[in-house]
């Protein structure tokens, strides 16, 4: 398979291909360890293929992530501070929240792409989906054992590892508790130095609450760029605590405040969807065509019913709609 080149990754069809590269099976945790250890004998302290490109990351976020001033600022600030710290006291733990299609998975894919030389193909980037890796609630004890072994083993191989947990709102509560020791500020867990790892959790939980804050701001004629994290963080945290289907429900991870940043993704308006359409057309090497752009916008459902303000699925279906109208 050809090596992945660095550069822009527009929001759309490319994301599906990127994420498809990183589905890993917990049951095969030891498969790559021996080969990797030859390249990095002291995995705890080795940077492995960690090669952060902040300029590229900021460029891609500025050009391709529509309508997310908070997410752009929070992610870059937290990431820079963490990476530039030669001896962090704990891993970086980000939790991404928002409505479907607002860019959460896209941002996580960009982070992998701009942090690791191998991008999403890197053996040090690990992507978990509850549907694929933890589908049966009755197997929870086995999943806990496997997940703990996977994380511990891979951090032993390389302290600079990235762990992505998708669809946290579909994850059986209790499983994530095995990660709690890895997310805190202890120096060593199970004999493993883990403080340079990055954990990213993604969910739609809190999306409705974020939408309501943005809607109220619009009704009050406030610019959405005036919305700040302090307005959204409490309602997101409460939404997680109140959701019995979320992986952090009644979790010590929430109680111990081990999430460094709750990153809100705001609902997308019509001009944001237009931005996504233009990006996708550019990725396809096509000139903007007003009739195609308008057809995609006209086929997109917006809410609430009265205001017709926010896209019901963000930019998630832009790529497929463009293909239909070309």
Q: Do the annotations mark residue 138 as ligand-binding? A: no
CB distance 168 to 205 below 8 Å:
yes
| d(C-alpha 294, C-alpha 31), whole Å | 49
Q: Do the annotations mark residue 36 as ligand-binding? A: no
Q: Do the annotations mark residue 317 as ligand-binding? A: no
Annotate 2-17 with b (16+ C-beta within 10 A) or e (fewer): eebeeeebbbbbbbee
Q: Do the annotations mark residue 101 as ligand-binding? A: yes
Q: Do the annotations mark residue 172 as ligand-binding? A: no
CB distance 277 to 296 below 8 Å:
yes
Edge-to-edge, what's the strand order for the sheet holding 125-128? Answer: 125-128, 162-165, 198-203, 92-98, 261-265
| d(C-alpha 124, C-alpha 311), whole Å | 35
Q: Do the annotations mark residue 33 as ligand-binding? A: no
Q: Do the annotations mark residue 98 as ligand-binding? A: yes
CB distance 179 to 257 below 8 Å:
no
Q: Do the annotations mark residue 102 as ligand-binding? A: yes
Annotated binding site for ATP: 98-105
Residues making up the annotated binding site are 98-105
């Amino acid at each position: 398979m050809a090596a992945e080149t660095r550069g822009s990754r527009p929001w759309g069809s490319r994301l599906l291909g990127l994420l498809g590269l990183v589905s890993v099976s917990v049951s095969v945790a030891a498969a790559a360890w021996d080969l990797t250890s030859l390249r990095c004998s002291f995995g705890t302290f080795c940077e492995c293929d960690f090669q952060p490109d902040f300029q590229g990351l900021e460029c891609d976020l500025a050009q391709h992530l529509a309508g997310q001033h908070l997410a752009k600022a929070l992610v870059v600030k937290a990431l820079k501070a963490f990476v530039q710290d030669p001896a962090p006291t704990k891993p970086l733990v980000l939790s991404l929240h928002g409505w479907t299609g607002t860019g959460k998975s896209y941002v996580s894919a960009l982070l992998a792409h701009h942090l690791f030389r191998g991008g999403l193909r890197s053996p040090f980037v690990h992507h978990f989906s509850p549907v694929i890796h933890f589908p049966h609630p009755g197997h929870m004890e086995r999943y806990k054992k496997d997940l703990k072994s996977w994380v511990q083993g891979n951090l032993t191989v390389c302290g600079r590892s990235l762990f992505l947990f998708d669809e946290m709102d579909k994850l059986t509560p209790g499983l994530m508790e095995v990660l709690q020791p890895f997310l805190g500020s202890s120096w060593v867990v199970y004999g493993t130095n883990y403080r340079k790892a990055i954990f990213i959790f993604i969910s739609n939980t809190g999306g409705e609450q974020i939408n309501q804050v943005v809607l109220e701001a619009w009704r009050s004629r406030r610019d959405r760029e005036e919305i700040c994290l302090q307005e959204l963080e409490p309602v997101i945290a409460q939404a997680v605590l109140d959701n019995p289907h979320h992986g952090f429900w009644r979790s010590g991870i929430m109680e111990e405040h081990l999430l460094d940043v709750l990153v809100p993704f705001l609902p997308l308006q019509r001009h944001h969807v237009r931005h996504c359409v233009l990006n996708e057309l550019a990725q396809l090497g096509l000139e903007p065509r007003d009739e195609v752009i308008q057809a995609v916008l006209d086929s997109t459902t917006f809410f609430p019913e009265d205001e017709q303000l926010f896209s019901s699925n963000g930019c998630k279906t832009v790529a497929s709609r463009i293909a239909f109208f070309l």
